[in-house]
């Protein structure tokens, strides 16, 4: 039991491990070990105790899963233990993460069985209340403490031998309907039905004059059973999909460039057959909360894959322009506008936001951290229309509290069919106004940065030191010595004359950090500055909360892959030296 527990990673983003009984992360078996079954029972009991302490005994819970093979047995255990503890449980089977989270607003809480973008043999658990997102770290820690106490006291509940779990088809249809309606609210940026209808009528008219078909590589994900086709067609968009049989996961799950080639090839095929309006494509991960983008470059006549940071940047441009344009049309005073992002999000977001007189605030990696930062900002009077983890792609569009490829798509669709948004961007950027626009032309106007990709082999390090605080103390010592040796050459060759250390823990950011140990297990960044004190690059590090790896990256202003490679190698070598000393 302790050996199995040692392989679990518990964070606000999800409780995860390799559930496949063989321990092979690529195993498609439906079987899990007895040890992991008992740990799931303990997790279920801990959640029951948590939610009853918080909301009382008459709680209603929504339970669902993505399409991983081990999902059904994990849901059976949760259902069994929750029912025994007096909770009312509605099981809706396979459901996309944004779908169950939108539906959960009508209940007390949800439990979602998923390991997001991890390989097929992995699985996990996400807990949430009825605010549309996962629990913040502070609440997740309460469940974790109860979970560990249950194991320590040897009070794991017995799992029934004859669990009879079936999908509540009525509740599943209600979930679909709720998600459809909520998505209309998110995209129209209004809960007023008449405002929504007016917005979508206008959108349909614009799409009719500039037809657009969306392609999808579903890869057997939970989105196969969600609103995608019906919603896109409701909006006047075309829709075609491949690998859309639920559970038929035909290639790796993470929606990064190496797996986006399938939808890109599909786009190329359709274009060659004369379907010239097939201009956007996406591939969701297994739980369907993340989806990166392929587009048809009308200049190069090729299907091209957008990098995660580029996707997020385009969405930020679109949503900030939408807010400012609406203010302009209504003749109202500009609102105090902000964007909430995670700490490794590229500085290109800062440049885009500055054009719209918006501020950028950063949280530690983890969707829950970014969502909670946005909530704090709203309490301070900011309008936070868009937030997200730029390093992973996709965006969270308020009032949603989770990433959603549908919302990402519509940020891009608005840019393509509503020229007034791009015209406003050109205006605030001091660029010539363009009328006939494509995504490639919009890209040409964006700030240029060179950024390490999240799946780049250089972005993952094996670190022996388990104490991240000790590692960062050693890193600070190595950096101090290094800066004495290379500071002069950095100034001469790269124009980098100083650095500022920044830590991000949860929603809290410390600037000009003097003691690196205060970043603990959070993110640690070095902002590299020129003689004017402007940030020209950064290097960043953090131990993953959902995978047994240590992540690093570099972000450099301009098209400068040589400097990005040099700075990342310099940063990596210092971490490795610190690892040897710690």
Domain edges within the chain? 2-172, 210-305, 310-447, 457-581
Sequence-distant (6+) residues with CB within 8 A of 207 are: 235, 236, 237, 413, 417
- pLDDT (mean) for 162-177: 95
Which CATH entry fits the domain spanning 457-581: 2.30.30, 3.30.200, 3.30.1370, 3.30.310? 3.30.310
pLDDT at 58: 92
Between CA 8 and CA 548 the distance in angstroms is: 10
Tell me the pLDDT tens digit for each residue of 247-295.
999 999 989 889 999 999 999 999 999 999 999 999 999 999 988 999 9
- Strand duo 337-342 + 386-388: pairing: parallel
Higher pLDDT, 57 or 18: 18
pLDDT at 154: 93
Between CA 370 and CA 176 the distance in angstroms is: 26
Residue 568 near residue 537, CB atoms below 8 Å: no
How many other CB atoms are found less than 10 A from the CB of residue 333? 6
Question: What six digits make up the tokens of 223?
Answer: 């989105």
pLDDT at 206: 95
pLDDT at 434: 79
Tell me the pLDDT tens digit for each residue of 127-156.
999 999 999 888 999 999 999 999 999 999
pLDDT at 582: 78
pLDDT band at 514 (very low <50, low <70, confident <90, very high): very high
Closest CA to 223 of 201, 255, 200: 255
pLDDT at 66: 97
Question: What six digits make up the tokens of 410?
Answer: 């519509």
Return the biggest CA–CA distance within the chain: 73
Give DSSP secondary structure letters for 135-159: PPHHHHHHHHHHHHHHHHTT-PPPP
Residue 61 near residue 51, CB atoms below 8 Å: yes
User: What stretches of 56-96 show up as alpha helix (H) in DSSP?
Assistant: 71-84
Query: Does the pTM of the predicted model rise above 0.85?
Result: yes
From edge to edge, which strands make up the β-sheet containing 278-284?
238-242, 213-217, 278-284, 291-297, 302-305
Closest CA to 462 of 344, 577, 576, 582: 576
Degrees, nearest 5: CA angle 23-35-253 = 35
pLDDT at 545: 61
445: pLDDT strictly greater than 80: yes
CATH number assigned to the domain covering 2-172: 3.40.120.10
pLDDT at 246: 96
> Rounded to an integer, what is the distance from CA 183 to the centroid of its chain?
17
> Rounded to an integer, what is the distance from CA 403 to the centroid of its chain?
5
Sequence-distant (6+) residues with CB within 8 A of 265 are: 303
Determine which helix (DSSP H) or strand (DSSP E) holds 181, and give its type and residue range.
Answer: helix 169-188
pLDDT at 117: 87
pLDDT at 581: 86
Degrees, nearest 5: CA angle 239-390-323 = 75
433: pLDDT strictly greater than 90: no
549: pLDDT strictly greater than 80: no
Question: What six digits make up the tokens of 286?
Answer: 């297994």
547: pLDDT strictly greater than 60: no
Between CA 436 and CA 67 the distance in angstroms is: 41
Looking at the DSSP bridge assignments, the partners of residue 282 are: 216, 293
- Strand duo 508-510 + 498-505: pairing: antiparallel
DSSP letter (8 states) at residue 134: B
CATH superfamily of domain region 310-447: Alpha-D-Glucose-1,6-Bisphosphate, subunit A, domain 3 (3.40.120.10)
Between CA 314 and CA 336 the distance in angstroms is: 21
Mean pLDDT of the residues in the chain: 95
Question: What six digits make up the tokens of 111?
Answer: 């439990």
How many other CB atoms are found less than 10 A from the CB of residue 26? 12
Going along 431-534, which residue ranges are E strands? 449-451, 460-461, 498-505, 508-510, 523-529
Backbone torsions φ then ψ of 491, nearest 5 degrees: -65, -45
| Residue 430, CA distances (Å) to 313, 426, 433 in order | 18, 6, 9
pLDDT at 546: 56
Listed range (65-74, 259-268, 449-458, 559-568) with the worst mean pLDDT:
449-458
In which residue are the tokens 């004359």 written? 497
Give DSSP secondary structure letters for 373-418: HHHHHHHTT-B--EEE-TTT---EETT--S--HHHHHHHHHHHHH-
pLDDT at 130: 95
- Strand duo 122-128 + 238-242: pairing: unpaired
As a whole number of Å, the end-to-end CA separation of the chain is: 30
Residue 508 near residue 496, CB atoms below 8 Å: no
Q: Sign of the C-alpha dihedral, residues 22, 25, 27, 33?
A: positive
Question: What six digits make up the tokens of 187?
Answer: 């995209």
pLDDT band at 548 (very low <50, low <70, confident <90, very high): low
Same fold? 2-172, 457-581: no
pLDDT at 393: 75
- pLDDT (mean) for 28-53: 97
pLDDT at 394: 75
CATH number assigned to the domain covering 210-305: 3.40.120.10
């Amino acid at each position: 039991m302790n050996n199995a527990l040692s392989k679990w990673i518990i964070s606000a983003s999800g409780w995860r491990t390799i559930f496949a009984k063989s321990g092979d992360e690529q195993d498609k078996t439906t079987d899990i070990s007895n040890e992991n079954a008992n740990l799931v029972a303990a997790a279920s009991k801990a959640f029951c105790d948590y939610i009853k302490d918080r909301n009382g005994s008459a709680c209603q819970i929504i339970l669902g899963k993505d399409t991983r093979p081990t999902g059904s047995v994990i849901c059976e255990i949760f259902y069994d233990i929750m029912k025994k503890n007096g909770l009312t449980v509605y099981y809706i089977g396979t459901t996309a993460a944004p779908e169950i989270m939108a539906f959960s607003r009508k209940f007390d809480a949800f439990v979602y069985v998923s390991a997001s973008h991890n390989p097929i043999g992995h699985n996990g658990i996400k807990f949430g209340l009825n605010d549309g997102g996962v629990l913040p770290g502070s609440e997740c820690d309460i469940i974790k403490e109860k979970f560990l106490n249950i194991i320590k006291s040897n009070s794991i509940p017995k799992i029934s031998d004859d669990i009879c779990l079936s999908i509540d088809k009525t509740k599943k249809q209600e979930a679909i309907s709720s998600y459809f309606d909520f998505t209309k609210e998110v995209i129209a940026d209004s809960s007023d039905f008449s405002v929504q209808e007016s917005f979508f009528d206008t959108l349909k008219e614009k799409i009719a004059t500039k037809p657009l078909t969306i392609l999808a590589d579903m890869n057997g994900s939970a989105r196969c059973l969600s609103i995608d086709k019906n919603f896109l067609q409701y909006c006047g968009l075309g829709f075609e999909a491949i690998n859309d049989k639920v559970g038929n996961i035909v290639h790796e799950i993470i929606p990064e460039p190496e797996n986006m080639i399938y939808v890109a090839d599909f786009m190329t095929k359709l274009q060659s057959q004369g379907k010239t309006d097939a201009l956007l494509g996406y591939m969701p991960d297994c739980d369907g909360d993340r989806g990166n983008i392929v587009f048809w470059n009308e200049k190069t006549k090729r299907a091209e894959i957008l990098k995660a940071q580029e996707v997020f940047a385009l969405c930020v441009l679109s949503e900030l322009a939408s807010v400012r344009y609406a203010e302009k049309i209504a003749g109202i005073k500009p609102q105090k506008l902000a964007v909430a992002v995670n700490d490794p999000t590229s500085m290109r977001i800062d440049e885009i936001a500055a054009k719209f007189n918006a501020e950028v605030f950063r949280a530690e990696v983890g969707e829950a951290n970014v969502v909670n930062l946005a909530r704090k900002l709203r309490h301070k009077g900011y309008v936070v229309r868009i937030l997200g983890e730029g390093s992973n792609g996709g965006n969270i569009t308020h009032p949603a509290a989770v990433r959603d490829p549908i919302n990402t798509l519509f940020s891009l669709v608005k840019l393509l069919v509503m020229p007034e948004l791009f015209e406003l961007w050109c205006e605030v950027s001091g660029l010539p106004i363009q009328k006939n626009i494509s995504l490639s032309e919009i890209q040409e106007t964006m700030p240029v940065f060179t950024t390490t990709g999240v799946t780049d082999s250089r972005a993952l390090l094996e670190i022996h030191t388990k104490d991240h605080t000790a590692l960062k103390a050693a890193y600070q010592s190595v950096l101090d010595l290094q800066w004495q040796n290379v500071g002069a050459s950095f100034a001469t060759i790269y124009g980098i004359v100083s650095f500022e250390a920044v830590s991000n823990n949860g929603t809290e950011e410390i600037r000009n950090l003097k003691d690196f140990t205060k970043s603990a297990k959070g993110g640690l960044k070095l902002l590299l500055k020129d003689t004017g004190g402007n940030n020209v690059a950064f290097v960043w590090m953090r131990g993953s909360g959902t995978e047994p790896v240590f992540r690093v990256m570099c972000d450099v202003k301009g098209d400068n892959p040589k400097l990005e490679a040099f700075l990342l190698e310099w940063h990596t070598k210092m971490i490795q030296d610190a690892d040897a000393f710690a």
